Every structure is written in C-alpha cells, then in structure tokens.
Chain A
C-alpha cells in the first residue's frame, strides 16, 4: 500500500525512509525493475516524467502532485537534510528530512538529489543536483480534496 502521507508542521521523516532517514530503499539501486501502472517493466534509471504522469492517470487511487523545493537546510541527523516543499496547487508547506543522497524525480530533469555524487556512488544511479525551485513528482490520493 502507498506510504503514509506527511503532514505540515514539525519536520517529518520521509515515508519512504520508514521511521528514520538513515536508510535508502532498495528500489533506487541502478537496474531495479519498476512496474508502471499499465504493467510495463522499466529500469529505475530509464524512467521518464511521462511514465509517472501516465501511470497516475491510469491509477484510480493516486494523483500526481507538483512539489516545489522551497528550502534546503542541514538536517538533525548526520548526512541528512531538511527539505521544505510547496506541495500541490495550494503550495502547502511540508518539510521532510532525508539523506543527502535520497533521489527525488524532478519534472523534465529526472533523478536529482542534494548530493548527486553520493547517490551515484551508493546507488550507481546518475543524478542531477537538487536545487531550490526544482519541481518534483510527488503523489497524493485522489480522494484528498
């Protein structure tokens, strides 16, 4: 089931990092097989913006949100950062604490992280630098107004 959503206010750990931002999920490793909503299989490094948009269009439960990076601060955990996003059309402010190398998918650009060299070193996933102003792909439930 999709990971729980984050709420605004106090900094929350990213749901994809379970309870603490100290681990990277296995599916970011280069070569990982990803299944799109139409059943097509692609490698994580080959994914394009359209793959997420089309998969969300097919999904009856999920919808794509645009989340703009507003701030990037040093995290409370070593090797972590706190990223403040403006989420969705209302630019709701949400903060997440993630590892420096945690990749986000930027519209029209692909995988990006706060420390691309570290991402490439650990995951063999080529990565751009995540910057303030980048618009990332995120998800929301269609049932949420």
Chain B
C-alpha cells in the first residue's frame, strides 16, 4: 500500500486573522 508522502501542515496562527490596528492610537 502506498503511504501518503506529503500532507501539508499549516501553523495554528494562519487560521485566525490579525485585526488589531497597526498605527499608533
């Protein structure tokens, strides 16, 4: 049987957005 070779692994932080404003308040 053929083993799957490359299963993509994604980092946890790619799942949630950065929403905080980056400019100084």
- Identify the A interface with B (CB < 8 A): 2-8, 14-16, 25-28, 32-37, 41, 44, 47, 51-52, 55, 59, 62, 65, 67, 85, 87-88, 90, 92, 94, 96, 104-105, 136-141, 144
Contacts and interface: CB of A to CB of B under 8 A. Distances in A.
B19 A41 contact: no
Contacts of B11: 34-35
A92 B14 contact: no
B12 A37 contact: yes
Given A90-B25, A92-B25, A85 B19 contact: yes
In the complex, which of the residues B9, B14, B19, B21 has the most CB atoms of chain A within 10 Å of its own CB atom?
Answer: B19
Contacts of B23: 7-8
Contacts of A62: 13
Contacts of B20: 5, 65, 87-88, 92, 94, 138-141, 144
Say which size band chain B's interface belongs to. 10 to 19
A136 to B, nearest CB: 8
Contacts of A55: 12-13
Contacts of A4: 18, 22
Contacts of A16: 14, 17
Given A7-B23, A33-B8, A88-B20, A27 B14 contact: yes
A141 B22 CA distance: 9
A5 B18 contact: yes
B4 to A, nearest CB: 11
